[in-house]
Amino acid sequence: MSIKKKRVVKILFTIVVLVILLLLCWILSGGKSFAKYKSETTAAHLAEIAKPVFVVDGAENIQINGMEDTVYDFQIKNYDETSVNSVNLKYDIEIVNYSEADLEFELSKNGKMVNLTENKTTLNPLKAEDKQMDSYQLKIKYHNNPAVTSDIQGNVQIKTQAIQDEK
């Protein structure tokens, strides 16, 4: 064989060996192909902040006289004169005794007794879009008999807190 032919055969042999090695590497790597791509999407959207409506209706102040149980009625609503709540809410009620009197609290919702844990309710749902009103009645019982007027001085507050419910 001539030198030219030997050189061509040697080059062809090297190319064939390289191709075989590349195929073996590709097969051993699981036959996966590796690619890199980039995708770009543009979009525009207007977002509005939800306007919650959470209304507590009831008398501003009531007097606890200590002679008989005091009853306080109030409602919690998800609507007012102009709008209905647009998001689901959860709310709780806490009764805080700032007086020095030995008071006991009984709370009922829509006529059914509500369990109080450390004078606080569990979370109650308040749905969006549909008008909902929960009627509450708080009965305050004074345990000292006869009443000691100096005990009753102070106040009792009803605190409500609403948070947005996850959808």
- Report in angstroms the alpha-carbon separations of 53 from 93, 109, 123, 146: 16, 20, 17, 43
Contacts of 140 (CB under 8 A, 6+ apart): 64, 69, 70, 71, 72, 103, 104, 105, 156
pLDDT of residue 60: 76
Q: Are 164 and 88 within 8 A, CB to CB?
A: yes
Closest CA to 106 of 140, 60, 83: 140
CATH, range 55-164: 2.60.40
Contacts of 59 (CB under 8 A, 6+ apart): 72, 73, 74
Please give the chain's pLDDT, 167 residues, in tens: 677 788 888 888 999 999 998 888 777 776 566 667 777 888 877 766 777 788 888 877 777 766 778 888 999 999 988 888 888 899 999 999 887 778 889 999 999 999 999 999 999 998 888 899 999 999 988 877 656 666 666 678 889 998 888 76
pLDDT of residue 47: 67
Q: Are 86 and 116 within 8 A, CB to CB?
A: no
pLDDT of residue 33: 63
DSSP annotation of 110? T
Give the domain ranges of the chain.
1-31, 55-164
pLDDT of residue 117: 92
Closest CA to 105 of 149, 158, 160, 147: 158
